[in-house]
Chains A and B, each alone.
Chain A
Amino acid sequence: MITFILNNKTIKTSDHSGMTLLDFVRYQQRLTGTKIGCREGDCGACTLLVGTLKHNTVEYKSITSCISPLGNAHGKHIVTVEGTNLKGKLTSAQEAMKANYATQCGFCTPGFVVALTGFALSNSENNYENALNAISGNICRCTGYKAIEKAAHQVVEKLENQEEKSSKWLIDNDFIPEYFESIPERLKDIEGKYLNQSKGKFVSGGTDLYVQKADHLADNDVHLIAEKEYLKGISIENGICTIGTNSTVSDLWNHKALNTYFPNLKKQLKLVSSEQIRNMASFGGNLVNASPIGDMTIFFLALNSEITISNENQKERTRELKNFYQGYKTFDLNEGELLKDITFKLPTKQSFFNFEKVCKRTHLDIASVNSAIQLSVENDTITEAHVSIGGVAAIPKYLHETSAFLTGQPLTTETILKANEILQKEISPISDVRGTTDYKRLLARQLFFAHFTELFPKHFTLNDFIQHA
């Protein structure tokens, strides 16, 4: 039995664990405030909160329920807009939306309200930027967002009165209803209950599989792995970082140490989908989806990562990520095998990392071209180089030749221009809905240049490159 708390009600259901949480909430529970906009995580109209018991408190995150399997709700507190409603008055998030004219047709509105409530409940620092990130996965077609920006400001202003995070304060200040206080205890009661699972398609966050084949997953056995502890966690030891494949992009985003190793981490990860999706999407899923344009794959390729693969008998083997991919959507993984973790060397004082991505819309979009680079530089000489690029080949591409060429070269404009020539030979972009061949080639060059103007702003400007290119 899948057991969880939905708003203020404990649910026990034997419904198929692969059906979407959205369908369960709307059509089995008739909580129709959760809307269907796109069924692929791209509009946020179905945003819900998922509360997970951590010690004695519950941590809340927003998700898009259209691409989340019902089974992943097991042991959690699921909150819909109805579950935030107060009797006879509006919550602070709701009042902010109303007072600022941030709702017109109203169809996207519950999604925004839930996401803003999630922001109030989250551990994110209270500032406007984080409030915007919280609604980064919500699309509105009516307002033009300026009114919603004002609503977000109002929420942030009200939260400024909170000295330290507490659900009591949030209850007293009309952000959430009173019953939230009882949730930690009630979750403890169902926490340990084991969810009996059949064999079937492995599903972690589901963010890509449910976009591709939600109907199939709702109709066939799935094996949910999002809660498997041995696939979780981020650890750092002796300059090596190991990331469990069940970790989400948000886990990386929130990781304090990694944010010091990668000072631009948040800026870069902000280019990756939306907060709702980052809260769900696992790295393992991103790697085995094998999209030629997978953002995190490109990221880890330039970190020269190694992956650990484990089979049903817990037998493990390792593989360099750059040699993992064999062709379009094919890779070195056997039946019954799972990606366990990703390991890579952390950057040092001499090494530099950058990630670039350009798409039609800067945020919550699939790249036309994305690229990452890691360089070690000593005395103005490149001692190690790893360059990856997406959207320009059948696989997420590690640029073997370009990387090899750069190694040992002086860090000069000439080197970079020559490297671009090699890069251009290594890639083979095709024209599609994300751009023409010519565009992707030009963009690949520009992003390659951008790595250097970003990492070495004192050495290089755009002008240095384009005058000669």
Chain B
Amino acid sequence: MHKNKENKVLDTKLDAVSKSLKQSIKNLDSYTHVRGESLYVDDVNIRQGTFHAVVFDSPKAHGKIKSIDYSKAEALDGVERIFTYKDVPGKNEIGGIIPDEPLFAEHEVHFWGMPIALIIAESEFIARKARDLIEIDIEELPVITTAKEAKAKGSFINAPRSFSLGDTEKAFTDCEYVFEGDTFSNGQEHLYIEAQGAYAEPLENGNIKVTSSTQGPTSVQKTIAQVLGIAMHKIEVDVTRLGGGFGGKEDQATPWAVMAALATYHLNQSVKLILNRHDDLRMTGKRHPYESTYKIGLSKELKILAYQTEFLQNSGAAADLSPAIAERTLFHATNSYYVPNVTTKVLSCKTNLPPNTAFRGFGGPQGMFVIESAIAKAASEIGVSARQIQEANLLDENDTFSYGQIAKKVEAKNTWHSAKNIFNSDALEQEVSDFNKNNTAFKKGVSFMPITFGISFTNTPMNHARALVHIYLDGSIGISTAAVEMGQGVNTKMMQIAADIFSVSIEHIKIETTNTTRVANTSPSAASSTADLNGKATLMACNALLERLKNVAAAYLKVTPEAIVLKDEFVYMNNEKTDVEWKHLISMAMLERVALTENAHYATPEIHFDKTKEKGHPFAYHVYGTAITTTTIDCTRGTYEFDSVKIVHDYGKSMSEGIDLGQVEGALIQGMGWMTMEEIAYNDEGKLLSNALSTYKIPDIFSVPKSVEVIPVETKGHELAILKSKAVGEPPLMYGIGAYFALQNAIKAFNPNYDLKFHAPMTPEKVLMSLYS
């Protein structure tokens, strides 16, 4: 529809992107991935005699356990044991932030799918059969499924949090326009294609090795130690890779690993626990649904003078990561806009759903959806385009965020105007408007979505990582870090760093599994920070080794180390190639008894945050961008397609263009899925209705936009980003929010009586109902 015939600027930029993709490094796992040779937990060769485990979970969302009869299940041939809370030698407790979550229910159940027992059998099949034979009697208690209900009943996870800037109350009185409203954004199932799982093996002396599909190996190790009542050094956690994580395996990979380890502890036998999809969907938490209210005040010139919002986070039955996620909602409540007077508040509401958890964006998307809704509402009431309000309020250099950080190296306006110019958005909007004039059965809508996303764990003490680099005596290199590979390509980036520093071919480098005995006390691979933190540590370790090697070469060549450079696997002296090869240099270093192993520790400088004041400088830097989304809806059927998403994204200086583009596209589609077709449904009893892939739909190849164009904005990058290549995992997810507003604009074009509603996802059902409301 939107032809870029005359758009030479865009063509040139797209050519540049496509050229860089041809040259850019491929994910180092690609070769084994496409051959089906990559190993995931369920593919690990298991030991003889391995038992298989299945979790018995609560068939009610809230109640008192009156009785459980395991006798028939235990009597089934092939059933080895059934473990319950009574078999926990240490603490029956797995909560990471707040100790409020038992591994196994004791006397009460708090959500449908809450683990009660672990069935160990010769096969998974037998264990599942045994599960059907367990009889449980539960005295039901009242069930809360929504945040609003929880608030009314005073059911909270912790104390509310609130950020403020300026004097919001007073500012509203100065506003030309003030609007209020409410919004809802539903949860989202991670749907990593590899379900949760772990494999535990007994070692000698009561030590246990656990292979886990986790983003947080240390968290798994620590929790196993706590539940078993033994020291952490007795537990080794190893992760090769994940078949997708998206936050769903940050905290919630833990219980399954703990259960497998518990069974191994008692049986002194290997135990495998892989959830089947239905169990995974039922037992694990998702992105948090949010019910929110907002009040927005604008001047005559469309400047947002005041913004106030209250977020009700549906946290589920236990804290999990909810408090941290709630905090990030506040950090991103004003998205890419400078608002001088802001008051935001978030309440983590305790309900009888599975504990909701981290999901790409970590509460940020939920916060951004509300201010975008408020802007859309204001625009509609005032009679202007939302784009005008967005554009009038974009963040500028030295503006203050509501949490006190001063915005530096801001690219909000740059990406916005670049997007408008490169993609010729005026023409696009005109085409959409013309199309709508000439068509009834189909309508188009266009929306703009700027993003600003802070990079760092907002909990400052978590911003650290380590790398352990070995150079073996044949010159090959092994690197261990805290980073967990889950498709994001972090291992490839680590390899690039080492290859770059030593100037050796990537064939010499191996990225080892993530293992708690090699790299200890790690933060999870999360918060988009994995490459930054582990990359910086890898950089430091490699540089230290490089210095040593230069000294060895300098001594041999009888020059100062400053005269030495390593290039293409040779030593260069004063820019002249010598005959000292990389391998030769390593042999010399060995003879000189030089340490060829280095361990480096990196902790992000500059960042801090004071929770008592709710002020500080929590982020190393921010990532910016703007997306323009165009949709076409079929007004007969209520279905829709996306014509295009056009993005200008701030990569800084991307170190791996192909991998980073993959993150942008993948996150965008995931965000669009959240906003359009992915609909979590629980009934009033707290039972998950969207409990299978037949009832929970994520985007397939036909539902993605016809065209996705991503143009990098030219920026200098940021020193705290690894090689100035900015974090890219989470920010682009929020481009997907534009999908909601594009659809809404298309609906409005068909039905002028449509009263804007902010209730995501915008399913075909909601579209059709809105078209004819």
Residues of chain A having any CB pair with chain B under 8 Å: 31-40, 42-43, 45, 80-82, 85, 90, 93-95, 97-99, 101, 103-110, 113, 132, 135-136, 138-149, 211, 215, 218-219, 356, 358-366, 368, 432-433, 435-436, 438-439, 442-443, 446-447, 449-450, 453, 461-463, 466
B637 x A211 contact (CB < 8 A): no
B243 x A107 contact (CB < 8 A): yes
Given A35-B194, A103-B34, A109-B34: A450 and B636 within 8 A (CB)? yes
Given A107-B193, A433-B690: A136 and B487 within 8 A (CB)? no
Given A106-B241, A435-B765: A462 and B681 within 8 A (CB)? no
The closest CB in chain B to the CB of A112 belongs to: B34
Smallest beta-carbon distance A189→chain B, Å: 28
A101 x B661 contact (CB < 8 A): yes
A81 x B27 contact (CB < 8 A): no
Q: Which residues of B lie under 8 Å from residue A148 when comparing CB positions?
A: 701
Q: Which residues of A lie under 8 Å from residue B699 when comparing CB positions?
A: 144-145, 361
Chain A CB within 8 A of B772 CB = yes
The closest CB in chain A to the CB of B30 belongs to: A98
Smallest beta-carbon distance B765→chain A, Å: 5
Chain A CB within 8 A of B407 CB = no
B125 x A215 contact (CB < 8 A): yes
B659 x A101 contact (CB < 8 A): yes
Selected interface stretch from B106-114, B664-672, B738-746: B664-672
A462 x B31 contact (CB < 8 A): no
**How far apart sit A155 and B33, CA to CA, in the bound complex (Å)?**
18
- Residue A144 contacts which of B30, B241, B668, B679 (CB distance < 8 angstroms)? B668
Smallest beta-carbon distance B685→chain A, Å: 14
19 sample A-B contacts, Cβ–Cβ < 8 Å, listed by A number: A32-B36, A33-B35, A37-B194, A38-B693, A40-B693, A82-B37, A85-B37, A90-B31, A93-B34, A98-B33, A104-B487, A139-B700, A141-B191, A144-B662, A145-B701, A147-B665, A358-B639, A364-B700, A443-B638
Chain A CB within 8 A of B192 CB = yes
**How far apart sit A211 and B129, CA to CA, in the bound complex (Å)?**
17
Chain A CB within 8 A of B677 CB = yes
Residues of chain B having any CB pair with chain A under 8 Å: 21, 26-27, 29-40, 42-43, 125, 128-129, 190-195, 241-246, 274, 276-277, 440-441, 486-489, 635-639, 658-659, 661-662, 665-670, 677, 679, 681, 689-690, 692-695, 697-704, 708, 763-765, 768-769, 772
Smallest beta-carbon distance B690→chain A, Å: 6
A360 x B764 contact (CB < 8 A): yes
B662 x A143 contact (CB < 8 A): yes
Q: Which residues of B lie under 8 Å from residue A449 when comparing CB positions?
A: 636
B670 x A144 contact (CB < 8 A): yes
A101 x B21 contact (CB < 8 A): yes
B708 x A362 contact (CB < 8 A): no
Given A81-B35, A107-B243: A446 and B768 within 8 A (CB)? yes
Given A81-B35, A113-B36, A136-B702: A146 and B695 within 8 A (CB)? no
Given A141-B244, A361-B677, A463-B440: A101 and B26 within 8 A (CB)? yes
B701 x A106 contact (CB < 8 A): no
**How far apart sit A219 and B639, CA to CA, in the bound complex (Å)?**
42
B769 x A360 contact (CB < 8 A): no
B665 x A146 contact (CB < 8 A): yes
Given A361-B697, A363-B703, A364-B700: A218 and B125 within 8 A (CB)? yes
B277 x A132 contact (CB < 8 A): no
Q: Which residues of B lie under 8 Å from residue A211 when comparing CB positions?
A: 694
B36 x A81 contact (CB < 8 A): yes
The closest CB in chain A to the CB of B695 belongs to: A433
Extra contacts, 8 of them, besides A40-B277, A93-B34, A142-B487 (Cβ < 8 A), are A40-B692, A104-B487, A104-B488, A136-B701, A142-B244, A361-B677, A368-B765, A443-B768
A108 x B193 contact (CB < 8 A): yes
Q: Which residues of B lie under 8 Å from residue A432 when comparing CB positions?
A: 689
Q: Which residues of A lie under 8 Å from residue B765 when comparing CB positions?
A: 360, 368, 435-436, 439
Across the A-B interface, the 9 shortest Cβ-Cβ residue pairs? A33-B36, A105-B487, A107-B243, A106-B33, A144-B669, A104-B487, A81-B36, A42-B693, A144-B665
Q: Which residues of A lie under 8 Å from residue B639 when comparing CB positions?
A: 358, 362
B708 x A144 contact (CB < 8 A): yes
* Max count, chain A CB within 10 A of own CB: residue among B192, B243, B488: B243
Smallest beta-carbon distance A468→chain B, Å: 13
Smallest beta-carbon distance B562→chain A, Å: 40
Q: Which residues of B lie under 8 Å from residue A104 when comparing CB positions?
A: 27, 487-489, 662, 666
Given A105-B241, A144-B665: A42 and B34 within 8 A (CB)? no
- Residue A358 contacts which of B38, B40, B274, B764 (CB distance < 8 angstroms)? B764
Smallest beta-carbon distance A293→chain B, Å: 11
Smallest beta-carbon distance B76→chain A, Å: 12
The closest CB in chain A to the CB of B26 belongs to: A98
**How far apart sit A145 and B274, CA to CA, in the bound complex (Å)?**
27
**How far apart sit A388 and B99, CA to CA, in the bound complex (Å)?**
56
* Max count, chain B CB within 10 A of own CB: residue among A101, A108, A211: A101
Given A33-B36, A35-B243, A146-B708: A42 and B21 within 8 A (CB)? no
B692 x A38 contact (CB < 8 A): yes
Smallest beta-carbon distance B376→chain A, Å: 23
B243 x A106 contact (CB < 8 A): yes
Q: Which residues of A lie under 8 Å from residue B33 when comparing CB positions?
A: 97-98, 103, 106, 109-110
- Residue A132 contacts which of B32, B658, B701 (CB distance < 8 angstroms)? B701
Given A132-B702, A141-B192, A439-B769: A462 and B635 within 8 A (CB)? yes
Q: Which residues of A lie under 8 Å from residue B689 when comparing CB positions?
A: 432-433
Q: Which residues of B lie under 8 Å from residue A108 when comparing CB positions?
A: 193
A36 x B42 contact (CB < 8 A): yes
The closest CB in chain B to the CB of A150 belongs to: B21
The closest CB in chain A to the CB of B37 belongs to: A33
Smallest beta-carbon distance B337→chain A, Å: 27
**How far apart sit A450 and B659, CA to CA, in the bound complex (Å)?**
43
Q: Which residues of A lie under 8 Å from residue B241 when comparing CB positions?
A: 105-106
* Max count, chain B CB within 10 A of own CB: residue among A42, A148, A432: A42
B694 x A40 contact (CB < 8 A): yes
Smallest beta-carbon distance A138→chain B, Å: 7
Smallest beta-carbon distance A33→chain B, Å: 2
**How far apart sit A71 and B60, CA to CA, in the bound complex (Å)?**
38
B35 x A366 contact (CB < 8 A): no
Q: Which residues of A lie under 8 Å from residue B32 when comparing CB positions?
A: 106
B38 x A106 contact (CB < 8 A): yes
Q: Which residues of A lie under 8 Å from residue B708 when comparing CB positions?
A: 144, 146
The closest CB in chain A to the CB of B709 belongs to: A146
The closest CB in chain B to the CB of A143 belongs to: B666
The closest CB in chain B to the CB of A132 belongs to: B701
B242 x A39 contact (CB < 8 A): no
Smallest beta-carbon distance B655→chain A, Å: 15
B763 x A360 contact (CB < 8 A): yes
Q: Which residues of B lie under 8 Å from residue A94 when comparing CB positions?
A: 34-35
**How far apart sit A432 and B690, CA to CA, in the bound complex (Å)?**
10
**How far apart sit A99 and B39, CA to CA, in the bound complex (Å)?**
21
- Residue B129 contacts which of A109, A215, A361 (CB distance < 8 angstroms)? A215
Smallest beta-carbon distance A356→chain B, Å: 7
- Residue A461 contacts which of B34, B245, B441 (CB distance < 8 angstroms)? B441
Q: Which residues of B lie under 8 Å from residue A39 when comparing CB positions?
A: 276-277
A462 x B34 contact (CB < 8 A): no
A439 x B487 contact (CB < 8 A): no
Smallest beta-carbon distance A106→chain B, Å: 3
B193 x A43 contact (CB < 8 A): yes
**How far apart sit A359 and B662, CA to CA, in the bound complex (Å)?**
28
The closest CB in chain B to the CB of A107 belongs to: B243
Given A85-B35, A108-B193, A360-B764: A462 and B700 within 8 A (CB)? no
Given A99-B26, A462-B635: A113 and B243 within 8 A (CB)? no
- Residue A105 contacts which of B194, B668, B677, B701 (CB distance < 8 angstroms)? B194
A32 x B42 contact (CB < 8 A): yes
B698 x A446 contact (CB < 8 A): no
Given A43-B193, A90-B31, A106-B33: A141 and B246 within 8 A (CB)? yes
Q: Which residues of B lie under 8 Å from residue A95 when comparing CB positions?
A: 34
Q: Which residues of A lie under 8 Å from residue B39 when comparing CB positions?
A: 32
